[in-house]
């Protein structure tokens, strides 16, 4: 199978079986999504979703959050990984959005990565989810799943994975392909023991082909 055929099979599979894939983070607007994505670093979406309602109730917009004190916000984030840094990042992010962006969450990657707690991955998530821009956020699931299937070759960094995926996925499908790969990695192609027996990507998967060959 050529790389082109592999991509075509995989994209067609997801389009058929997961046409409406989307983030599992619960949010109502770009401000809430940005808060949730910052909190989700090294933390499950489920845990983030348990935490954000209280944050959004107390800080309904970026202006309210920009006035929060560390001591007020920290207790709401305590149950999440790296609460100290995340508390500082959220307040710093809100202050910068108010000061430099007129209270609007920026809509471009170069602007977003100026904000505390926002790296390339987070900026790619925000711009692709909110604005459907063709930006591919590569987290641990996207990195692993892409390599196993054979969508990427010898990628050793998230950036290499991102660039290889962008080169091969049609622009208009990039924003949803991000969710396809994440969800596949979260529920089927899991890290320790991928559930190949129940995976519809077997005919196109390099990892599975090697598994069969070895047995």
Give the Å distances, CA to CA, from 154 to 9, 10, 22, 84, 144: 21, 19, 28, 36, 11
Is there binding between residue 148 and ligand SF4 (CB under 6 A)? yes
Minimum CB separation of residue 46 from ligand SF4 in Å reads 21
Is residue 133 close enough to count as binding ligand SF4 by CB under 6 A? no
Residue 212 near ligand SF4 by CB under 6 A = no
d(CA 82, CA 106): 25
Is 6 or 86 the residue whose CB approaches ligand SF4 more closely?
A: 6
Known binding residue 43? Answer is no
Measured between alpha carbons, how far is 14 from 36 in angstroms, rounded to an integer?
25
Q: Looking at 4, 139, 167, 173, which residue is catalytic?
A: 139
Select from 41-49, 79-87, 111-119, 202-210 the region that touches ligand SF4 (CB under 6 A): 202-210
**Residue 199 touching ligand SF4 (CB under 6 A):** yes
Nearer to ligand SF4, 57 or 214 (CB): 214
Phi and psi for 58 in degrees, rounded to 5?
Answer: -80, -30
Q: Which pair of structure tokens corresponds to residue 76?
A: 């709401």
Binding to ligand SF4 by CB under 6 A, coded x per residue (else -) over 67-96, reads: ------------------------------
Sign of CA dihedral 170, 176, 178, 183: negative
Provide φ and ψ at 87, rounded to 5°. -60, -50
| Residue of 45, 61, 121, 173 with catalytic role | 121
Could you say which of 5, 167, 195, 210 contacts ligand SF4 (CB under 6 A)?
Answer: 195
**Least CB distance from residue 198 to ligand SF4, whole Å?**
8
Q: Determine whether 72 is an active site residue.
A: no
Residue 121 designated active-site:
yes
Q: Evaluate whether 103 touches 62 at the Cβ level (below 8 Å).
A: yes
Query: Up-side HSE of residue 56: CA atoms within 13 Å toward CB?
Result: 18
- Note the residue count of the chain: 215
| Catalytic residue set | 121, 139
Interface residue list for ligand SF4 (CB under 6 A): 148-149, 188-189, 194-196, 199, 201-202, 205, 207-208
């Amino acid at each position: 199978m050529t790389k082109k055929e592999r991509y075509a099979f995989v994209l067609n599979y997801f389009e058929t079986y997961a046409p409406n894939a989307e983030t599992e983070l619960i949010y109502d607007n770009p401000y809430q999504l940005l808060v949730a994505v910052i909190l989700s670093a090294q933390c499950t979406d489920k845990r983030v979703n348990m935490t954000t309602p209280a944050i959004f109730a107390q800080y309904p917009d970026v202006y309210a959050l920009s006035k929060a004190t560390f001591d007020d916000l920290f207790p709401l984030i305590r149950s999440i990984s790296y609460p100290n840094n995340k508390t500082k990042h959220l307040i710093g992010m809100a202050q910068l959005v108010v000061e430099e962006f007129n209270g609007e969450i920026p809509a471009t990657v170069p602007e977003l990565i100026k904000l505390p707690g926002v790296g390339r991955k987070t900026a790619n998530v925000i711009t692709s989810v909110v604005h459907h821009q063709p930006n591919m956020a590569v987290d641990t699931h996207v990195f692993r799943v892409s390599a196993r299937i054979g969508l990427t070759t010898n990628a050793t960094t998230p950036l290499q994975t991102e660039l290889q995926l962008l080169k091969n996925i049609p622009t208009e499908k990039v924003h949803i392909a991000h969710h396809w790969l994440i969800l596949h990695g979260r529920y089927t192609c899991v890290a320790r023991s991928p559930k190949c027996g129940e995976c519809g990507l077997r005919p196109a998967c390099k990892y599975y082909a090697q598994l069969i060959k070895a047995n």
